[in-house]
Structure formats: structure tokens, C-alpha cells
Structure 1
């Protein structure tokens, strides 16, 4: 109970006003009190007080949270419901490990580069072949798995460890992340292209691993710490001016959560702080550090583009203006805002796999907002959001395509 005792004061700070209900997408979709931030907080408090035991209903309430952070923004008392859920998940992990087995297996696979590569190799080989033969498996738990891209070989195997330019202004270490490495390798190439076109030497450490966010989100701090330590040492050893990621979720973990993860290791914390201070998200780095020379950008084919704010970008990293400025800098690209641009798309890591109907309903609203905007293309800054939203659009029979901000910018540098 130590984990939950540490947050007991925050549990008691909730005055049950209900402001969080207006923001919470799981509650607005399901309309059951236990799936609201207020409901989850009261369940956690009752567990600490010994009123209830952590039964299946309790675990479902805790594990179905999107961790989007909208409740924390809405709360007038400053209660961070997402952080309380993280504490509850940590408590569950300490009680009985990660359950069910499928979730534990998935998290262990993500944490291991070799296991993850084997998984993607199976998917793009035997897996996709089987899917094409089985009717009704176009969408599995709301994910468009038949059309989910898989790189012919991991991005890390396609590029050298260092890419140099003639007159380097900055030395940037690129944290690729799991999805860009194994699925959306074209976007990873777009990131490198933009950096080199802007006089940056690019270092791509071949020994990089998962940032640790999936494990951290389900209370496996030990596995998350192991990967975090590897990441910190690998990247700092190369002495970059900046560590760049093109994944909002990875960026949040690398820059913010590492500080929380190692808060109990004061001897190592200075090393962590040194690393975190170097971390930038792609559009943030491009807009604030590079300062684009727009005269070098070539005109796109005229296209109307909207932008989806990933939860980790808008509410965790608090980066919202930079991706829009990057998009607006591209000639002949017409930018339009969609309604509720920062509304969660429903991906939220493994929530989409284990609470797929809830996720699908949330994705459906995001899809409708995109359609209503009149945009032909949806840009975003998170690979998981890209795959989730594209699947939602495909499932709805819509024609819009989803791309990364880096893809659109890289295209403007085409010779």
C-alpha cells in the first residue's frame, strides 16, 4: 500500500465536483461513474481505506484510463487523475504482476529489441498472409491490421550510425522509437532529411531500445528503468547538442517521466537531468532551434491539411503551436483547424487492445471531426495516433490520409 499511501493526500484533494466528467472521454463514451476520473479516484481511495479489494471491476476501471491528462487540465483543485491512475497501476503490479498474460507478454516484447523485431518479422511475413485468407479479420479490436505498414527491414538497419553534412550547425541524436523503426520507416527518413537539409549532423545510435513508456504506464518501473538507463547512457556518450524524437509519447517519457522515474536515485539524477534537458520533439526543434528558412521550401501540390494534437504533445509536453507553424510554412498547403483537435484518438497504448470497443467509439468521434474539417490530409506527431486514426478513417470508408508533420515538411525539400 506504500505507493498509494504516498498519493493519499491528492486522493483527498478531490472534492467530487464533477468538472473532470466533462473532459474524460472514457466517461463521455460509456457514462459509467467508475470510468470517470472522479469515480476512479474514489475507488482508489476506498482501496487504500480497506473498504474494497482490487477485484476485476476495479482493475478494469484503472486499466481503461487513457492517461490523456484531460482531467488534470479540467480540475479546479489541481488533482492529476492520470498520475493517480499510474500510482494505482503500480500498486497492482506490485500486488500480482502484470495481468493478463497477453498484456505482460506484449510489454516484455516491446521492451526487448530482438523480440520486437521477431514479432514484426512474423507479422509482415506469415501474419499478413494469414490475415488475407481469413474473412472478418480486416480489423482486429478496432485496429486496421491488414493495412498496417511494416518496414521491409528496420530503419536502424537501413541507415549508418552517423550522417554528416558539409557545414554542420548542430549535432543531433535521433531517438527513433519502435513504430518508426519497424512500421513507419518512411517517416524516420523524413526526419533525417529535414535535419540534414538544415545543416545538422545526425547520429542514430544502433543500440537504442524502447523508451520504457509502455512498461512505465502499467507500473513496471523496473523494466522501464532498465531501458531508460540504457537510453540515457547511449545518447549522452555520443555528446549531442540535442536528442530528437518524432514521437510525442517517446518525447514525454524521455523529457518528463525519466525525471519522475529516477526521483528515488539522487546519485544518478544529475545524469538524468543532463539527458532530459537535451530532448526535443521534432516540430519543436525545427521551429524553435533550427528556425526554418522558408525560402528553401518548394511548393506542395495544393492540399488542405488539419492537425491532430496527440495527448502527450498537448497536455504533457505542452507543444501545440510549433507543429502548426511548421505546416503553415509549407507553400500551397492550406491549414484548417478541426473541432477538438486535442481530443484523444483512442489509441492510448494497450488500452485499444484490451478495451477495444471503448477505444473504437472514441476513435469514431475523432474521425468525424476530421471529416467535418474538410481536410484531405491529417498531420500529427505521434506514430500510434497515425496508425489509429488511419484505421478509423479506413473503417469508416473515408479517403483522408494520415501523415507525420515531418513527412509533409520533407516533401517540401524534394529536389
Structure 2
């Protein structure tokens, strides 16, 4: 039974009522029972009972196509967290099979290694992007707008000093940048720093940052995830103890650093106190700004803007942060905030799911972009870089003209230099 023995009771808790059908985005795409929480739970139970070969391609498709968005858990009257069961099943499958298929393994190894990731982005920003643009039909690769995908001319960590100080600091923040803000959305990383310094915060930006380990963790490679987690804890806790908080502007990274590290090291009780000490210092950007209070005296917007907000899965169901980003948007002058229908539903990104199950992701994103269009907003704000890239691609693919921005970008724009 392997690892599945640990969750066998929850597998048996599913009463097969089908309430999850109303919540599951992947099920709504094609109506396959193997792509809804109830079906996935039954397949995992079949493997646990020895009635299904874990190498069966139907089983692997079921657990790998899951968005792990957590929406099914909210809909389940029996309290089954199918998303957590899928995570255990992925880990169990990784231990049984040892390695992932080449493409997925290559992607996970690249993300885990900052040097490989940097080389990959340098290649992409050099000849890779222009080459793809010239290939017929490659404007939208697996639902991603290749032509307009932002790529930093130089990684953010190479652009800034390790410490940025203000004249009269009230706070000291260590900024965990994350892969996408570092390599793709560097402008947003600068926005974060600008908002922090405008609100009297010294900012520490350690140069030896690595991926938080979420991609590897999500696909059962706990060993690699632990290596990066240890590096992150050492960098931000041991080497920068003078920082009051460890701040990140990525909801997914925040969830991993604050919540999942504790689960990742659950089998190492001697190390857990340090993990908890670190996790207790982690705070998401909008949450922190709401916590310290924003200096509104310098805020100014010359152009009126209608803004809506998309809740990233890791923010709304992982960290339960929903009001703070909206609060930040509503304090901005000349910004009209309008709520989106199903703002808290998955946009279809879900890490590597969008790459390996792009047909599913594209249809889910289409629903989200339709909801965005209905708001008649000029800007879609969010707090997750992966969602930003996915949403902007979906909007472009739909022929719409909304701009996707991080909450930090809108706030920084409102501060006059």
C-alpha cells in the first residue's frame, strides 16, 4: 500500500455523492469521471487496495491532470480533501517509478537549479523567443502567448543591490523574489521594492535565492524540494536574522514557504522548530501592506481606471488571503473596483498542468477571460506571477484588451517619484 496507507481512512471517507462535480474545473472540460475528485479518489483507493496497477496510464493521467486547486474540498460534505490525496498519490508514484518522463523531469530540474534556470531564460530572451515567433502556429504555444511573454533583459537579482535603505526606516523586510519575478516580471519586483520603500521599509534582497521548491514538491520530488527549502531557510533565517519578515509577492511561493514547508519536513522533527521559526516570518505582499498600513498621502493616479481582481488558488484556499489585496486596490485614487464573477476559481495555470494538459488549461482559462470581459474592467489585478502570465495569454488569445497587473504594480504606479 506504501504511502497511501497513511491516507487510507480519508480515501474511505468519500461517499461517492458527486458534490465535487459542481466544483471541479477539469471535470467540466470533458466530463470524464477520472478527472473529477470522486473518480480520482476511487482510482487512488484501487491502487492502495492492489486492484489497480499504479503504472496504468489512466491512473497517472487522473492524478497528474488535477489542478490541485482545492475547490473540491470546499464542495465535499464529507470533508474529503481530494487535492491532498492527489499530492500523496503523486509522491507515492514518484517513489514507485523513481523518475518522471523526460520533459517533466527536465522542467523540474531546470526550475530547481538557479543557474540552469538563468541559462534557460537567457537562451529564450536571446534567440529562443524570436525563433519560436517565426514558426507558423507558435504564437500561442500550449495556450501561452509566446510573442508577448515578458522576459527580463537581465534578472532582477542582477539589477539591484543586496540592501536598499530609506532615510527613516520603520521596518526591515527580506524580499523573497521568486523565479518568475526574477526572470520574467522584473518590473513587478521593482514595484514591490518601490512600495516598500515608500512606506519606510529597508529592503534586504539576498543574492543567493533559489526556487522555493513548489514545482518539485507538487510532483512528489520531496528530495529536491527539501534541498531548496533548506537553502531558503538558511538564506533568509540564518543569514538575515535582522529582517522582521520574509516577504514574497507570489501567492504560490508564500503558500509553499509558510504552509507546505511544515508538511515537507514533517518526518524530521528535529528540524521542524527551525522550519516553523522561518514559516512564522513569511508574509505575502498585500497582507503585509495591510498589516503595516499604507501611507496614502503620496498616492496619486492621473488616469481613472476600472480594476477587477482574480484570486489565485494558493491565496484564497491555501493562505485564506482575500480581503487584503482588494483593500489595497480600493485605497488607490481614481480606481473603480468591480468584483468579477467566480473571481476565486482557478485560471487554469496550475504550474506544469498548463504545459502538459494545455487543452484542459486553455478551456478553463477561456471561462476566466469571459468573466473578465463581463466586468468591463481595464485592468485585471492579481497576486501570483503564474496567474498573471496565464491570464494575459488567455486575454490575448480571446482577442480582448485588458491588461493584467500585480497589485504591487498598481500601487507603485500610484506613487509619484
What TM-score do you get using the length of structure 1 for normalisation? 0.99
Deviation of 1:20 (Å): 1.2
Does the aligned pair in 2 maintain the 1:309–1:380 contact within 8 Å? Answer: yes
- CA–CA distance in structure 2, aligned partners of residues 170 and 310 of structure 1: 27
2:297 alignment partner, one of 295, 298, 318 = 295
In structure 2, the partner of 1:6 is 6
1:128 matched residue in structure 2: 129
Other-structure match for 1:256: 259
Which one of the candidate residues 364, 367, 385 is aligned to 2:369?
Answer: 367
The residue aligned with 2:344 is 342
Q: Which residue of 2 aligns with 1:414?
A: 416
Task: Kindly report which structure 2 residues correspond to 1:249-328, keeping only aligned pairs within 5 A, or say none.
Answer: 249-288=252-291, 290-328=292-330
**Mapping for residues 54-203 of structure 1, pairs under 5 Å:** 54=54, 55-203=56-204
Q: How far does the alpha carbon of each residue in 1:201-249 deviate from its partner, in whole angstroms, 9 at most, with x for none?
A: 1000100100000000000000000000100111012011000000000
In the alignment, the residues of structure 1 paired with residue 271 and residue 61 of structure 2 have an alpha-carbon distance, to the nearest angstrom, of 35
| Structure 1 residue 300, shift from structure 2 partner | 4.2
Q: Which residue of 1 aligns with 2:356?
A: 354
The whole-number CA distance in structure 2 between the counterparts of 1:56 and 1:5 is 22
The 8 Å contact of residues 298 and 416 in structure 2, kept in 1 or not, is answered as: no
Q: 2:402 aligns with which of 400, 403, 414?
A: 400
Residue 32 of structure 1 corresponds to which residue in structure 2?
32
* CA deviations over 1:330-383 (Å, ceiling 9, x no partner): 000000001000110000000001100000000000000000111010000000
- 8 Å contact kept, 2:173–2:246: yes
Alignment deviations for residues 252-305 of structure 1 (CA, whole Å, 9 cap, x no partner): 0000000000111111111000000011110000012x2112232112410100
- Residue 16 of structure 2: aligned partner: 16
Of 244, 251, 275, the match for 2:247: 244
Please say if residues 133 and 146 of structure 2, whose CA atoms lie closer than 8 Å, have aligned partners that are also in contact: no
Give the 3-state SS of the residue equivalent to 2:67 in structure 1. Answer: coil
Regions of 4+ moved over 6 Å = none
1:146 deviation in Å? 1.6
Contact kept in structure 2, 1:300 and 1:411, CA below 8 Å: no
What SS does structure 2 have at the residue aligned with 1:277? Answer: helix
Using the alignment, how far apart are the partners of 2:244 and 2:206 within structure 1?
14
**CA distance in 2 between partners of 1:98 and 1:375 (Å):** 45
Give structure 1 stretches of 5+ with no counterpart: none
SS in 1 for 2:345: coil
How far apart, CA to CA, are the structure 2 residues paired with 1:230 and 1:129? 35
How far apart are residue 126 of structure 1 and its match? 1.2
> What is the rounded CA distance, in whole Å, between the counterparts of 1:366 and 1:399 in structure 2?
14
CA shift, 1:132, in A, is 2.6
Q: Please say if residues 300 and 333 of structure 1, whose CA atoms lie closer than 8 Å, have aligned partners that are also in contact.
A: no
In the alignment, which residue of structure 2 is the partner of 1:388? 390
1:230 counterpart residue number: 231
Alpha-carbon distance between aligned partners in 2 of 1:84 and 1:114, rounded to the nearest angstrom: 33
Distance 1:401 1:94 in 2: 42
Secondary structure at 1:125's aligned position in 2?
A: helix
Looking at structure 2, the residues matched to 254 and 296 of structure 1 have their Cα atoms a distance apart, in angstroms, of 32
Q: Which structure 2 segments of 5+ residues have no match?
A: none
Q: Partners of 1:14 and 1:232 in 2: how far apart?
A: 37
Aligned equivalents of 2:406, 2:416: Cα separation in 1 = 16
Contact kept in structure 2, 1:300 and 1:330, CA below 8 Å: no
Q: What is the CA deviation profile of residues 133-184 of structure 1, one whole-angstrom value per residue up to 9, with x for unaligned ones?
A: 2111101111111211110110000000011111111110000000000000
